[in-house]
Structure 1
Amino acid sequence: MDDISTSALFIILGVLILISGYFSSSETGIMSINRYRLRHLVKENNKSAKRVDKLLKRPDRLIGLILIGNNLVNIAASAVATVIGMRLLGDAGIVVATFALTLVILIFAEVTPKTLAALYPEKVAFPSSVILKILLKALFPVVVTVNWITNGMLKLFGVSPEQIEEHSLSKEELKTVVNESSAMLPTNHSNMLTSILDLEQVTVEDIMIPRSEINAIDINDDWKDITRRLTNAQHTRVLLYRDQIDDAVGFIHSRDALRLLTKEQFDKPSLLRAVREIYFIPEGTSLNTQLLKFQQNKERIGLVVDEYGDIQGLVTLEDILEEVVGDFTTTQTPTPSDEVKVQSDGSVLVDGGANIRDLNKEMGWELPTEGPKTLSGLIVEYLEDIPENQLGLKIANYPMEVLEVKENMIKVVKIFPLQQTSSSS
């Protein structure tokens, strides 16, 4: 380098630092790129995305190429900086050049380009992949040799670079992605997506109409009473049973009932012949499983039964769909809004039969949902006894008071929200 002027050496040093910055930004940009978006762009036949995806098929070769280039450039820059330092400051220039070059490389060839690439991975990775592809072909023998040595060392630890781990998102990670994409998704779409992901955790007991609230008709009742109730039925399907609901006969479709009512000879035998077979659902069935079973069996309604065959409640296809899209039909049971009455002092009067999950959704509470499905059942389980009126207790840090108990069931409960108790303390 004695024949090269100092100014020329400064220019060479500057070019080497720029090249070092290129390799650093390329590494960060390609490794930081969103793999799922990259796959989407590959499916869209984006040439740049295909080029980057091909490089990422063998990350060992890509990293080897970048590090070979980066180290060659940095070593060359160190040699040039040493010559410049010795020319300007003599032997002391070696120390000055070492510290000065370290600072320059750190700022201009490492931190700045890598930060830029991390912020804009696609804008860096796509154009840089063109040069990397060319360099990979030109330096292929060197890259393969280096990889052969490093891969051999990795195999000693039981690692094979050919076996690239495919990272798939878990359900919770998908929910996080959806929630973080809320700025690009309408709120109702985001809620629907997260609800679909939650279907596996929700069982039919969480949404079923309890057996005590099923709108059904006893076939052994007076015939005039039966015809009157069929005429005034507000639901598409009505359950028929004998004496007690566990002895269910079947469902009668309102369309069939109306058709029979118009006939002159309409009696119990003709009504029983028109009933449709009952579809039973085992308790504990998750909603995503039941949704598929409804589809496979061409059913829209079913009775939830326990291990002894006793009927626990009723579930419809609409109930499951409402878990995804929200309420869109007139339901058989009151909504949480009808079961909740907010008082002037901030407390809330709640019907004891209110579904806990619905209460949590409506009021933003966090009452425990494991175990009993209704507020009454939750309190009875907590106390291990049927409480008396005017009994105070606290569940999940929510102070509450049992106001009314009737027929061994809790009818009304006053709940004091957490924000009220925290502010008063």
Structure 2
Amino acid sequence: MLEETSLLVLFLILFFLLLFSAFFSSSETALMSLNRYRLRHLEQEGHRGAVIASQLLNRPDRLIGLILLGNNFVNILASAIATVIGIKLLGENGIVVATFALTLIVLLFAEVTPKTLAALHPERVAFPASYILKPMLFVLYPLVWFTNGITNRMVRLFGVSPEDAATSAINTEELRVALMEAGSLIPTRHKDMLMSILDLEKVTVNDAMVPRNEIEGLDINAPFQEIVKQLSHCGHTRLPVYEDSMDNIVGILHLRKALHLITQDNLNPETLNSIIKDAYFVPESTPLNTQLINFQRNRRRTGLVVDEYGDLLGLITLEDIFREIVGEFTADTIDDDKDIHPQSDGSYLINGTANIREINRNNDWSLPTEGPKTINGLVIEYLESIPDPGVSIRMDDYVIEVVQTADNAIKTVRIHHILEQHEEEPES
């Protein structure tokens, strides 16, 4: 029959077969290259093409079976027609010529080019193609079912089930990579906040707490006039209340309630005791994401951090956790005027009690945070002794010089970020 067909008709048939081959090749690449999370978003918005594409991808074994059936059929038929054309034009030598010519044409115009376009613009190809593939799957389902029945049995030999084709849930590290690759689609500020939320599980209460020596508390056994004066001038919302020392915690006092009593001229030892709330204690190793949930569950905003022996180590607040997420939003912690003093030579004078995590966040540094929490602790642990002024050490790209010591502790250090200073040096 093909031998009796004119060359013009054969060339037209071959042309359309190549178009179908390009269609099947590009459809496969486009559907498999779709961003599944964007696809799910478009599906939820009611995008018809996304809905059909998602239905097809729910069973990729059937989709691939359909595409390969169609692709192989048109390619084999195209090969037969090209052979007939070659014989008509060149005789028996036309078989070899047609084979090489068709291979090159299929490779360029039915494989590489359409698949490249589909990989670069999957949605533009996949959504229109899904309108064609869906009815084709319905019509050819018996044949697809037969071929899939054989291939699925073979796939199960490798411990894989086609029913498990649903996309697995994304884990934390994959979400972190997705955020980093989002580029300008997500504002940098929002991206940093989302990354900080993901990192909460890696940060413990001990990393973000206010150390014990920096806690402002209220001694309930102090003279009452001193208590009133302290309450009137306190800059905090809640105060730990203790008897004689921080080792004897009584509870937590909300300053607003105390000031309300003061304005009513009704503050006395009895009314003061009545508004003190029981203390809420937190283990030092609690991850911040867990503590955030605990604060919400217990309806608390302040917790006292204790070690395994029950000794008080510090204080953690809801604001401290928020600060880990959004960065500095108040001026009552580390700031240039208090703990960090930039110098004209590019170095920084930093108080020994400054928190390393806060320094890293403020200066975009990467000082080690696995061990001690303060610069004082970091240097002392490194040297295994209390150094004299003038001693310098180098940690990676940071040179830390001890400037001042007092009371068995480092009061001030000078830090040079070597890499940062080299980047700022002008080219000669």
TM-score by length of 1: 0.94
C-alpha offsets along residues 25-73 of structure 1, whole Å, 9 cap, x if unaligned? 1101111111112212222232222211111121111101110110111
Report the Cα offset of residue 209 of structure 1: 0.9
Matched to 1:28, the amino acid is T
Report the Cα offset of residue 257 of structure 1: 2.1
Q: Show the counterpart of 1:9.
A: 10
Report the Cα offset of residue 323 of structure 1: 2.1
CA contact under 8 A between 1:336 and 1:362: conserved in structure 2? no
Q: Show the counterpart of 1:408.
A: 408
Distance 1:92 1:15 in 2: 25
Matched to 1:112, the amino acid is T
SS of 1:367's equivalent in the other structure is: coil
CA contact under 8 A between 1:64 and 1:147: conserved in structure 2? yes
- Compared with structure 1, are the counterparts of its residues 278 and 336 closer, same or farther at alpha carbon in structure 2 (3 Å cutoff)? farther
Distance 2:84 2:97 in 1: 11
CA contact under 8 A between 1:336 and 1:358: conserved in structure 2? no
Matched to 2:86, the amino acid is G
SS of 1:327's equivalent in the other structure is: coil
Q: Where does 1:75-90 land on structure 2 (aligned, <5 Å)?
A: 75-90=76-91
Distance 2:52 2:149 in 1: 23
Distance 1:405 1:373 in 2: 18
Q: Show the counterpart of 1:222.
A: 223
TM-score by length of 2: 0.93
Distance 1:266 1:72 in 2: 92
Q: Show the counterpart of 2:168.
A: 167
Matched to 1:344, the amino acid is S
CA contact under 8 A between 2:58 and 2:166: conserved in structure 1? no
Q: Show the counterpart of 1:322.
A: 323
Distance 1:324 1:159 in 2: 41
Report the Cα offset of residue 397 of structure 1: 3.3
Matched to 1:201, the amino acid is K
Count of aligned residue pairs for this structure pair:
423
Distance 2:334 2:148 in 1: 68
1:134 equivalenced with 2:125 (yes/no): no
Report the Cα offset of residue 259 of structure 1: 3.5
208-217 or 39-48: bigger deviation: 39-48
Q: Show the counterpart of 2:199.
A: 198
Gaps of 5+ in 1: none
Distance 2:421 2:201 in 1: 34
SS of 2:163's equivalent in the other structure is: coil
- Compared with structure 1, are the counterparts of its residues 397 and 10 closer, same or farther at alpha carbon in structure 2 (3 Å cutoff)? same
Distance 2:263 2:95 in 1: 107
Distance 2:420 2:51 in 1: 57
Matched to 2:18, the amino acid is I
Please tell me the root mean square deviation across aligned C-alpha atoms, in Å: 1.9
88-97 or 302-311: bigger deviation: 88-97
Q: Where does 1:223-372 land on structure 2 (aligned, <5 Å)?
A: 223-262=224-263, 266-331=267-332, 333-335=333-335, 338-372=338-372
Distance 2:345 2:213 in 1: 33
Report the Cα offset of residue 344 of structure 1: 1.2
Q: Where does 1:97-108 land on structure 2 (aligned, <5 Å)?
A: 97-108=98-109
- Compared with structure 1, are the counterparts of its residues 325 and 265 closer, same or farther at alpha carbon in structure 2 (3 Å cutoff)? closer
Q: Show the counterpart of 2:212.
A: 211
Distance 2:147 2:359 in 1: 63
222-231 or 131-140: bigger deviation: 222-231
Q: Show the counterpart of 2:119.
A: 118
SS of 1:199's equivalent in the other structure is: helix
Distance 2:382 2:339 in 1: 21
- Compared with structure 1, are the counterparts of its residues 151 and 298 closer, same or farther at alpha carbon in structure 2 (3 Å cutoff)? same
SS of 1:401's equivalent in the other structure is: strand
Matched to 1:22, the amino acid is F
CA contact under 8 A between 1:337 and 1:362: conserved in structure 2? no
SS of 2:393's equivalent in the other structure is: strand
Matched to 1:309, the amino acid is G
SS of 1:346's equivalent in the other structure is: coil
246-255 or 75-84: bigger deviation: 246-255
Q: Show the counterpart of 2:95.
A: 94
Report the Cα offset of residue 270 of structure 1: 4.0
Distance 1:158 1:237 in 2: 59
CA contact under 8 A between 1:9 and 1:84: conserved in structure 2? yes
13-22 or 190-199: bigger deviation: 190-199
C-alpha offsets along residues 72-97 of structure 1, whole Å, 9 cap, x if unaligned? 11111111111222222222222221
